[in-house]
Amino acid sequence: MTHRTARPHLTRRSRHPHRRRSLAVAAIAAGLALLASACTAGQPSPEPTPERSTKAPVTIQNEPTSMIFEGGLYREKDSLAARAAKSLRDKGNDRAAAAADEIAQTPVAMWLGDQYSVEKVKKVVSANVKAAEAEGTTPVFVLYAIPNRDCGDYSAGGWSAEEYPIWTQAIADTLEGHRAAVLIEPDSLAMLSNCPDETDRRLPLIKKTVEQLKAAKIPAYLDAGNSNWVQPDVIADRLDKAGIEDARGFFTNVASFYGVDDERAFAEKVSALTGDSHYVIDVSRNGQGWKGTWCNPDGAGLGQQPHATDGTTGLDALLWVKTPGISDGNCNGGPDAGVWFASYAERLVRNAAGS
């Protein structure tokens, strides 16, 4: 702080004022006071200048965790698991139906892929947002239609680079003014290690999606793979280039099986490298930990119940992101990726954490 030098007081010589002169000066002063009073009569007093706030405005990035998933997690009533339970029961397979029913009772993120046109995706999103608002909960959506999705592997597909921003804008427009959270494209950033030629096309598309959701005031999370895939500094660089500064944060362990402790340790490193970003962890199928493969592994089980957190770290929530019971692909006896795998769902329920 700079200290100013005090200005010296000016002294006036003593004199004996003439009484009449003093009276005249007093009369003039009184007249001026009356004139000033007349000029300002009826005018409002000037408003005090408000103090400038030094408190940062509340944004998607720093909003309290309790507000991100306010009211708890929304459970879709007509979920894939619920539909599978009905179909299996209609076929007389009560045991498989019971397993699907158990999964259907838990909130699971809703996946939006290229099977939904622009008009259809708006209807699906709108219907679930309205249902969530009616019960005061928060829906979680997953975008899964990036060009060359899954680098052409089991879950190949996606929109073209021209179609994708139009589709994501329709979702953002539908969500604007409502409460929701969005996970943007599982595997999209971590899997660039498998298809690096997609980097220059994919990163700008994801960044644009983040900007669309930010403009709609919707918290978004980006892909950070899992604790046994891409190194923290590498994925942090990809997250930065994909616009994480305008997102809420990132997600880990989607469709994978690693334990919460390992994922948190990994996520805290990534968080520190990306401006203390928040994160969520998929715990849908990690109840028995890693079983040696990512594709329909034997021995896997349901994880703990999903919920928002109130801790002191960057963890916002433990979620069921991957729908337990759907196949990872044509491996270990499974059907196509995304198709209900009834016997696998039974095993997941049987091997659930704590059972």
- pLDDT score of 51 more than 70: no
Residue-averaged pLDDT of the chain? 87
In this structure, of 1-15, 250-264, 276-290, 308-322, the range with the lowest mean pLDDT score is 1-15
180-199 pLDDT, tens per residue? 999 999 999 999 999 999 99
Determine the Cα–Cα distance for residues 83 and 340; give it in Å rounded to an integer. Answer: 10
99-156 pLDDT, tens per residue? 999 999 999 999 999 999 999 999 999 999 999 999 999 999 999 999 999 999 999 9
The predicted pLDDT at position 102 comes to 97
Determine the Cα–Cα distance for residues 241 and 149; give it in Å rounded to an integer. Answer: 19
Give the SS3 label for residue 71: coil
Selected catalytic residue, list 101, 150, 223, 282? 150
Residue 57: pLDDT band with limits 50, 70, 90: low
- pLDDT score of 280 more than 50: yes
Determine the Cα–Cα distance for residues 238 and 236; give it in Å rounded to an integer. Answer: 5
- pLDDT score of 45 more than 70: no
Within 8 A by CB and 6+ apart from 264, the residues are: 281, 313, 315
Cα 307 to Cα 109, 172, 234, 300, 315, distances in angstroms:
12, 24, 29, 21, 11
Query: Percent of the chain having pLDDT more than 90?
Result: 80
Domain spans of the chain? 65-350
DSSP of 182-219, one letter per residue? Answer: EEE-TTTTGGGGT-GGGHHHHHHHHHHHHHHHHHTT--
* Cα 308 → chain centroid: 12
Topology of domain 65-350 in CATH is TIM Barrel (3.20.20)
Selected catalytic residue, list 187, 223, 262, 282? 187
Strands (E), the chain: 110-113, 140-144, 181-184, 220-223, 249-252, 278-282, 307-308, 315-319
Residue 59: pLDDT band with limits 50, 70, 90: confident
Average confidence (pLDDT) over 224-234: 98
State the DSSP H helix or E strand holding residue 121, giving kind and residue range, or none if neither.
Answer: helix 118-135
Tokens of 353: 């954490």
Residue 313: pLDDT band with limits 50, 70, 90: confident
Is 262 annotated in the active site?
A: no
Determine the Cα–Cα distance for residues 162 and 218; give it in Å rounded to an integer. Answer: 23
Is 328 annotated in the active site?
A: yes
Selected catalytic residue, list 223, 282, 316, 328? 328
Q: Over the range 284-305, which residues count as b (16 or more CB within 10 Å of their CB) and which as e?
A: bbbbbebeeebebbeebbbbee
Short-list 73, 96, 71, 70, CA closest to 85? 96
- pLDDT score of 25 more than 60: no
The predicted pLDDT at position 66 comes to 84
Q: How many CB atoms lie within 10 A of CB 40?
A: 10
61-94 pLDDT, tens per residue? 788 888 999 999 999 999 999 999 999 999 999 9
State the DSSP H helix or E strand holding residue 132, giving kind and residue range, or none if neither.
Answer: helix 118-135
